[in-house]
Chains A and B, each alone.
Chain A
Amino acid sequence: MLRFSLGSIVTLAALAAVSGGLVWAVSSTGAVRGPVEHEIRVVARSYAFEPPVIRARRGDSLRLRFASTDVVHGFYLEGHDLDVTIPPLSRRALVTRGGRTEAAEEVALVLERSGKFRFRCSKTCGAMHPFMQGELIVGPNRLLLASTILSGALLVIGLAWAFIAPERKGPR
């Protein structure tokens, strides 16, 4: 039932190609520095992590230490097979990776994939537990760049097309 004209398909394809190229070009320009190691102490409390956002670049590594200021919390990192149980008032956490669980004071992680990964509390800690989360943003964030360019292009091309294309004859 949806009908697409050849012109609209070509426009969309061109839009996608141009966006992809732009994203690649822009996101590659900042990737000249070498990998960096970030030492971060993640403090969990109901219902937030401190720091709430961790920023790094692909190839960087993280050394994470954990602490909880109130009850038992969890630290589940999306897309990284990492789930940490953080007991209150303890320097050692229970780290589950690759199906194995062991007590540790520190978790090392090499960031091999770029993008946005939320970390969530994985241990029921109270009413707002399902919404307790933070963000690991690994640059270059091509998804954000591509979607932002596409969004802008939708506006510009849409209005331009509406303005330039000839008036359709016949009843609407």
Chain B
Amino acid sequence: MSAHPATDRASRGLDLLTRFPRLRWLVRRRWFPLALALPLLVLAVLLSAGALVGTPVGSRSGLVVGVWILWWFLLIAVLLPFGARAWCGVCPVPVIGDWVQRRRLTSVADEDPRVAKGAPGKLVGRNRYFGLAWRWPRALSNLWLQNLGFMLLATFSVVLLTSPLASAVAVLGMVLAATGIAWTFRQRTFCRFLCPVGGFLGLYSMSSTLAVRSRDESVCAGCRDKSCLAGSAGGWGCPWLQYPSRLDRNNACGFCLECVKSCPHGNMTVFLRRPFAERHLLGWDEAFKAYLMVALAIAYSVTYLGPWGELKAAANIGEASDWRAFGLYATGLWALALGVVPGAFVAAAWSGRRLARARVGLRDAALASASALVPFGLLVWIAFSVPLILANGSYVLSAMSDPFGWGWDLFGGADVPWSPLRPHWTPWLQAGFVLVGQGAGLRSGWLTLRDLVGDRRGAAIAFAPSALLVTVIAHLLLLLYAG
């Protein structure tokens, strides 16, 4: 391993596992990252169970505050930009499903497929799995179900964000669904193709500064075992149904780090790289994920952060029960996310292609233009999330001290009054994030189109309408956040 340079600035960045041997020791332990996921599962189940019978007030509920203020902010503003899908590595949702499949917590079921016959379970590569171990249908091996699931959750977001009962049902429902899918289908099928959170984590992890990759491709080329795919005594074959030695994008890498453990050559590692390094979207499912995430960031910013009470009342179906107003709100949300924003960007890509007289297909041009929405969308979501923590962060201490509203005071903060943390910084921070996102998005879109069109001037012309659209959205958000 030491023969490989720790830093490969030209391509992949800084090899963290070579640079920091203690980190390498940690990630090669079988109990990592389960040692983080298991306590999180206990916490999630406890908080959810408590939410079912505890206080109905969202801002006093440990589950609502823990998930929708603390976890959400850490996820979108810290873990995702700087840790890719590190959350997926420690996520408690699939832990029980993993056990159902493997019937073991930390050890690996490693068997030689030529001799291990007749035993219960099913061999996949060198690993024995239990349950049905079916393959997920190829037609559904994309983001469409995740897009649909996220839209459904987004439609009822007010209920989720404010009702402990609804949040508990969502969290426990996710755990149950992940377990059922794990029993039926292979490995992390739920995380790859069904988890509504996983869809946008995959998209925005492209912008992240961390990546799991092979250190030296020639080592992988000469490897006969393909342990990262098939499994070995050191680790399971990639649970995310990837071929880790050929990973060149973050989207479907769940940071479980099994490949780091299973590779007998120590050739899989974690790289620290510059932000916004990945640009290319591979299909309409990914492009639509990018479109709808930007659309939802706009819609949420208007609904939650705006001063318009009628809009909040329309979205608040859990309390107001005005189904007509909610129907209008939901229709507007779906039309914006699946019609207006995608339609505008596809039209912009079409007109840019015509303007530049570029001999590229509309699909390719639209996917390349949509790559601008990856960094832009991530930064806009961070901007949206800033006031959640600055204005409402103090709820975390009080709600965690008395997570069920039963009069406890676990951390001595149950009676701490609501006290915003520098809330007047919010517009400045939001404007900064929007501008950085716009700049990174314009760069990303243009570079991707340059790769497609072949020359920088043609790419600039082809990208101009989409760039204008990104700028218009940035202006709208600036008006909302700072105006």
User: Which residues of A does B touch, CB under 8 Å?
Assistant: 1-2, 45, 47-50, 52-53, 76, 78-79, 115-118, 120, 122, 124, 126-135, 137, 141, 143-144, 147-148, 150-152, 154-155, 158-159, 162-163, 165, 167, 172
Contacts and interface: CB of A to CB of B under 8 A. Distances in A.
B442 A158 contact: yes
Contacts of A150: 435
Contact of B59 (A53, A117, A130, A165): A130
A117 B424 contact: yes
The residue among A79, A159, A162 with the most chain B CB atoms within 10 A of its own CB is A162
5 contacts: A50-B309, A116-B427, A154-B439, A159-B467, A162-B446
Interface in B420-466: 420, 423-424, 426-428, 431, 434-435, 438-439, 442-443, 446, 451, 455-457, 459-461, 463-464
Given A1-B274, A130-B392, A167-B456, A124 B59 contact: yes
Given A48-B307, A143-B431, A148-B475, A127 B424 contact: no
Contacts of A154: 435, 438-439, 442, 471
Interface string B11-34: 001100000000000000000000
Contact of A118 (B310, B316, B426, B428): B426
Given A159-B464, A162-B446, 15 more contacts: A1-B274, A78-B423, A122-B418, A128-B158, A130-B58, A132-B309, A141-B482, A147-B431, A147-B435, A147-B478, A151-B438, A152-B475, A155-B468, A167-B455, A172-B451
A120 B307 CA distance: 10
Contact of A48 (B310, B418, B428, B467): B310
Interface of B: 9, 13-14, 57-60, 158, 162-163, 272-274, 303-305, 307-310, 312-313, 316, 318-319, 387, 391-392, 395, 418, 420, 423-424, 426-428, 431, 434-435, 438-439, 442-443, 446, 451, 455-457, 459-461, 463-464, 467-468, 470-471, 474-475, 478-479, 482-483
Contact of A53 (B273, B307, B438, B443): B307
Contacts of A126: 319
Interface centre among A118, A120, A130, A150 (most CB of B within 10 A): A130
Contacts of A151: 434-435, 438, 471, 474-475, 478
Contacts of B418: 122, 124
A142 B87 CA distance: 38
Contacts of B456: 162-163, 165, 167
B428 A52 contact: no
Contact of A1 (B9, B420, B459): B9
